[in-house]
């Protein structure tokens, strides 16, 4: 019994060391990819108390071509890559199953009314003039995934966009994601 116990502990320690080594390697890969996908002007939309979802927007430029396949943040239970488009006068948004295509050398804009990172199950309101950590997951042509960590400022709205229009779209987003608006 004693022998078995010691052996188990040793195996656990070995597994832990292996996991740590893997994490370090993955981190190094993420950094390499972070160099090849440029993230510009990221911002998250501020929320009010009780609001459960918000959007994160930015411009992405991939040097070699990639896809944005996932997103997460400690402030949200769920993160997804969404597209939003007008269908029969109704704004509809849905997750992109295969992620957002980032053609080599072309800047793809995530903006209100279009592609966005959706943060859902927010754990609390996102106050203007604060920042939130956001992790983006990219996949290369071979499907190899890497992560990029961002510090994203929280703003009421983007520069150069109409407040009214955005307000209307946020309402739509809330209705779709919350389904319990009073
Ligand atoms: Cu969305």
Predicted pLDDT at 157? 72
| Residues of the chain where predicted confidence (pLDDT) is lower than 70 | 1-35, 158-182
- Ranges of beta strands (E only) in the chain are 37-45, 54-62, 66-72, 76-87, 90-95, 100-102, 107-110, 116-122, 131-139, 145-155
- Tokens read off for 66: 């990639």
Predicted pLDDT at 168? 38
Predicted pLDDT at 177? 40
Domain count, the chain: 1
Q: How many angstroms is it from 1 CA to the middle of ligand 1?
A: 55
First to last CA, the chain: 62
Q: How many angstroms is it from 2 CA to the middle of ligand 1?
A: 55
Q: pLDDT above 90 covers what percent of the chain?
A: 61
CATH classification of the domain holding 47: 2.60.40.1890
Task: Determine contact, residues 119/79, Cβ cutoff 8 Å.
Answer: yes
The residue segments making up the domain with residue 91 are 2-178
Task: Determine contact, residues 121/52, Cβ cutoff 8 Å.
Answer: yes
| pTM for this model (two decimals) | 0.68
Q: How many angstroms is it from 55 CA to the middle of ligand 1?
A: 7
CA 68, CA 77: separation in Å to the nearest integer? 19
Q: How many angstroms is it from 42 CA to the middle of ligand 1?
A: 16
Predicted pLDDT at 156? 85
């Amino acid at each position: 019994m004693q022998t078995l116990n010691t052996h188990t502990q040793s195996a656990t320690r070995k597994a832990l060391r292996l996991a740590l080594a893997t994490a370090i390697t993955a981190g190094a890969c993420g950094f390499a990819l972070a160099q090849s996908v440029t993230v510009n002007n990221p911002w998250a939309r501020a929320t009010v108390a009780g609001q459960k979802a918000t959007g994160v927007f930015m411009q992405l430029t991939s040097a070699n071509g990639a896809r944005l396949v996932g997103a997460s943040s400690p402030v949200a239970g769920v993160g997804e890559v969404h597209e939003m488009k007008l269908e029969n006068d109704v704004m509809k948004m849905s997750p992109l199953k295969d992620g957002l295509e980032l053609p080599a050398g072309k800047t793809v804009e995530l903006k209100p009314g279009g592609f966005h990172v959706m943060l859902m199950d927010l754990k609390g309101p996102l106050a203007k003039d604060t920042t939130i950590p956001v992790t983006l997951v990219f996949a290369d042509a071979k499907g190899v995934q890497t992560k990029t960590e961002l510090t994203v400022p929280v703003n009421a709205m983007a520069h150069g966009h109409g407040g009214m229009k955005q307000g209307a779209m946020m309402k739509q987003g809330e209705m779709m994601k919350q389904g319990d608006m009073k």
